[in-house]
Amino acid sequence: MAVAFPSGFALEDLRREHRRAAFASGQPLVDGWLHTQALQSQTKRLTVTRVLASANGTVAGYYTLAMGQVDFGELPVDLVAKLPRRALPVAVLAWLGVDSSHQGQGLGARLLAQALADCHAAGETFPFVAVVLDAVDPVSKAFYARWDFREIPGRPMKLFLTTTALNALMAG
């Protein structure tokens, strides 16, 4: 799945040269991660952050991915019915944000589509049972729900997308 971004912007792996300090999505946790932790986490190979940057390095949006595990009992019965009763591998969409000056232009959906495409591609080599994320507020939760993310039972802000649903999204 190829995601088209507006001209003048390129999707790149986060580098020190990117102008992160000016990024302001309106969500302090989303902004703080990019400002102070994303590069360090990536350098330690714990996460990967991809930024949508202009030619001068200004960040219009970003997402961070990681691998993780969830306990068998956390996921819905229909998802884990035939799986071993142990910690299960998941892809984690740790962060996604769009600078307030670029909100309302569809960049969040494009960044999410690319993040899911990256997860799908990684799943060819490193299998997982779902993509999971923590929604930061009800608005972001509604955004992810439009992409078929569902609540993890008993944890209303923790969402998951099954690999079956991910494969269907990638198929078109």
Q: Where are the domains of the chain?
A: 9-171
pLDDT at 172 > cutoff 80: no
pLDDT of residue 72: 86
Fold of 9-171: Aminopeptidase (3.40.630)
pLDDT of residue 5: 92
Higher pLDDT, 172 or 112: 112
Percentage of residues in the chain with pLDDT exceeding 70? 99
Arithmetic mean of pLDDT, 127-131? 95
Question: Cβ distance 134 to 70 under 8 Å?
Answer: no
pLDDT at 2 > cutoff 80: no
Tokens encoding 150: 């569902």
pLDDT at 1 > cutoff 70: no
pLDDT of residue 22: 94
Residues 6+ apart with CB under 8 A from 153: 74, 75, 76
3-state secondary structure of 162: strand
Average per-residue pLDDT in the chain? Answer: 94
Answer yes or no: pTM beyond 0.85.
Answer: yes
